[in-house]
Amino acid sequence: MVLEAVDKVDDFKAGKFKPRVLDYSDPTVEGAFNDNIKPKDASRHISWEEDDTETVVRKARASDSRPGVRANLKHNGKEKPYFMYGVNKITHVEEVFSKWQPGDVMGYHGQDI
């Protein structure tokens, strides 16, 4: 199947392959059409008040790597929207993080938060 797809790329470049619209009423067509998920969709936004750690990680991983999941983060008392990706759950150092609230910026690594 992969080699067939590679052949189709060559055919497409040569102008031999013409994509066709799927007929979802055809019973041999599997799946369903889904609109693109927009970053502004609620499912792509972190709610620090409502989402637990597992939900935050799940939303971020589902949005990896572009554009990421939108979250408002606080730094120096100001809240700004950012797109998060590459999120990891840390469980062994909770006492170190006790002075921060969900959504606070804890540090930077280069340009990354």
H helix runs in 63-110, sequence order: none
Q: Model confidence over 55-109: pLDDT tens digits?
A: 888 888 887 666 778 888 887 778 888 888 778 777 666 666 677 777 787 777 7
pLDDT at residue 93, rounded to an integer: 61
- In whole angstroms, give the CA distance from residue 105 to residue 89: 15
> Two tokens at 6?
């590679």
- In whole angstroms, give the CA distance from residue 103 to residue 111: 17
> Two tokens at 77?
């008392």
pTM: 0.53
pLDDT band at 42 (very low <50, low <70, confident <90, very high): low
Angle at 33 between CA 18 and CA 21, to 5 degrees: 20
